[in-house]
Amino acid sequence: MSNTSYKIKYPKPESLRAIVKESAEKFKDKNCFCYIKEDDSLGKITFAQLDETVNHLGTAFAELGFLSKRIAILSESRYEWIVTYITTIISGSVVIPLDKELIKEQIANFINLSEANVIVYSKSYKSTVEDIKEELKHIDCFVCMDGEEENITAESILNQTEVNFASLLAFGKKQLDEENQDFMNVEADINQMCAIIFTSGTTGTSKGVMLSQKNILACIHSASNMVNFGPKDEIVSVLPLHHTYETCCGILTPILLGVTVNINNSLKYVLRNFKNFKPTGLVLVPLFVNTIYKKITDEIRKKNKEKTFATGIKLTKAARKVGIDLRKIIFAEINEAFGGRLSKIICGGARLDPDMVDRFDEIGINLAQGYGITECAPLVSVNPYNAIRKESVGVPAIDCVIRIVKKIDDVDVELPIGEIGEIHVTGPNVMLGYYNNPEATAKVFDSECYFITGDLGYVDEDGYLYITGREKNVIILNNGKNVFPEEIEEYIVRINIVKECVVIGKEGTAGDIVITALVYPDYTALEDKTPDEISDLLKSEVSKINKELPLFKQIRNIEIKKSEFQKTTTQKIMRHKI
């Protein structure tokens, strides 16, 4: 498949160390990270300071014998998390980013499964760590990100039950000043495992995805060349850092490009932080995109400005036809909600309603969709910034090969252009396998050693990939027809009184499979409505949707939920728990 719709501007990075070092030399005193401190003041870290901090922490690790070890991280999004992640990989060790939303038992389980030797955590999770401390079989050192700097030695660190991050950095700086070059001389093998990412995988059970530095560098190489971000840009990091999508695309790629990353301190205050940080770009998942647009339209309705908004869209569209772009002027009030500078959003992690691309374009924001999976580090494809196709998830990442496959008589047969089949992937981005789980690894690679994503889709004549759904979600009707629930869900979430929905096939009274919509309404917008009125409103809207759908895809039943669906920390609905 062709990747000729973009130019290779940035060469393939040699290592993560090279990225950090070269960016420090190139961007020096430019802000690399900004974050909100506990007293609400703004903390700033330059590119040069990032390099320095990594070297101090790495030297401390080297002196303590933590090179080639396993280091787990448990924390909210913060600068110390990022430094630990980068340092661990550069040092030749293995990083284990943990989902902070997991229950204590699961956290302990993952730490033990990964055989982690060190755990780095924030004070927010100190009690969690203390509660499970006795269960942790391999942990030799506990590092808390918070606390005042103390004068410590290697012996005192190893003898303490806990050491704080500031003391560790000071210790590393002292060692480096005394010519300890052990960390500086490390040349980590980029082909070896550098991260274990626990994910639900393709079967609904947790597995540890083994990624190499080569995998991560492949993702950074593709992302840096296929999106139009650069040193003049600022983004806000919103998604959880333990996800490879955020670490690779929202943290590491910006370091290479010289982009300033503002770390969001709470989802509760994310819109306020957009306004304060004034980003030019964002890296998001579809649910965030949908939520943002709903807030925009809700505000328009509250102010009775629907006609003004519609007129503005007509005016700006007419002006663009003659080369005049008035969007940032006409929709200045809307754009001010994001700080006034937002011009681009990269979206991945789940299926995006293609109409959102048009809706954001109308107000002057470029929305490009990509596709990835943790096992591919995670980038598989992305829409090049200069050749976006709204229905597509883009063209393959650099050096990544995609084929569409259907199993016929137990043989994987590659399908021609336009035909729907399972998406299989190979390339430098594909994982090493699942940690200590060769059986599970074998199941997700086909006879040609392509990774089996479990997603269904097709490619067009220009090599653009289109996702139609997930194989295990497909509803097979009694007449043999296949229905992709994600397609129907796109229609339902456009209803302004719907907050979340999932479409499933349920067995009817006659033994037939009935297309059923599970809907969680926007109860805030419906606070003056009775349950019967809400039901009637939804039935009316679904009736309109059914007129646009073929008979076999039409929604026959609606079930209204009283609470939200259970979701992952990237706000993806956990369908297997429904």
Tokens of 505: 């096939």
pLDDT digits (tens, 9 = 90+) for 402-448: 999 998 888 999 999 999 999 999 999 999 999 999 999 999 999 99
By CB atoms closer than 10 A (0-12, 13-18, 19+), residue 314 is exposed
For residue 391, how many other CB atoms are within 10 A of its CB? Answer: 13
**What are the pLDDT digits (tens) for 143-197?**
999 999 988 888 888 777 789 999 999 999 999 999 999 999 999 999 999 999 9
Q: What is the SS3 string spanning 526-560?
A: CCCCCHHHHHHHHHHHHHHHHCCCCHHHCCCEEEE
Distance CA 188, CA 194 (A): 9
pLDDT at 303 over 60: yes
- 126-140, 500-514, 530-544: segment of lowest average pLDDT: 500-514
User: Mean pLDDT over residues 18-35, rounded?
Assistant: 98
Q: Confidence band (pLDDT; 50, 70, 90) for 5?
A: low
Residue pair 171/157 in contact by the 8 Å Cβ criterion = yes
The answer to whether residue 511 scores a pLDDT higher than 90 is: no
The answer to whether domain 474-577 has CATH 3.30.300.30 is: yes
Q: Is the pLDDT of residue 304 over 70?
A: yes
- Separation of alpha carbons 209 and 198, rounded Å: 6
pLDDT of residue 567: 86
In 3-state terms, what secondary structure has residue 106?
Answer: helix
CATH code assigned to 52-188: 3.40.50.980
Cβ burial 90-123 (10 Å sphere, 16+ → b, else e)? bbbbbbbbbbbebeeeebbbbbebbbbbbbbbbe
Least confident interval from 3-7, 112-116, 301-305: 3-7
Rg value, the chain, Cα: 25
What pLDDT, on the 0 to 100 scale, is given for residue 576?
77
Mean pLDDT of the chain: 93
- The pLDDT confidence band at residue 203, using thresholds 50, 70 and 90, is very low
Q: Are strands 498-507 and 513-521 parallel, antiparallel or unpaired?
A: antiparallel
Using one digit for the tens of pLDDT, what is the confidence trace for 340-359? 999 999 999 888 989 999 99
Residue 38 predicted with pLDDT over 70: yes
Q: Is the pLDDT of residue 118 over 60?
A: yes
Segment 223-240 mean pLDDT: 96
Same fold flag, 52-188 and 474-577: no
The tokens for 213 are 């530095």
Q: Are strands 557-560 and 513-521 parallel, antiparallel or unpaired?
A: parallel
Looking at residue 204, its pLDDT comes to: 42
Distance CA 369, CA 286 (A): 9
pLDDT of 1 higher than 80: no
Q: In this predicted model, what pLDDT tens digit does every residue of 516-570 receive, in sequence order? A: 999 999 999 899 999 999 999 999 999 999 999 989 999 999 999 999 999 887 7
414-420 long-range contacts (CB < 8 A, ≥24 apart) are 415/458, 417/458, 417/459, 417/460, 417/461, 418/458, 418/459, 418/460, 418/461, 419/458, 420/456, 420/457, 420/458, 420/468
Is residue 201 pLDDT above 80, yes or no?
no
Residue 510: the pLDDT is: 77
Q: Which two tokens stand for residue 481?
A: 């027809």
Whether the pLDDT of residue 98 is over 80: the answer is yes
pLDDT of the residue at 202:
39
Given a cut of 80, whether residue 285 has pLDDT beyond it is yes
Q: Quick one: how far is CA 287 from the chain centroid?
A: 11
Task: Indicate the domain borders of the chain.
Answer: 52-188, 474-577
- The residue ranking higher by pLDDT, 46 or 482, is 46
Per-residue pLDDT reduced to its tens digit, 215-231: 999 999 999 999 999 99
Q: Which residues, 6+ apart, have CB-to-CB distance to 11 below 8 Å?
A: none
pLDDT at 470: 87
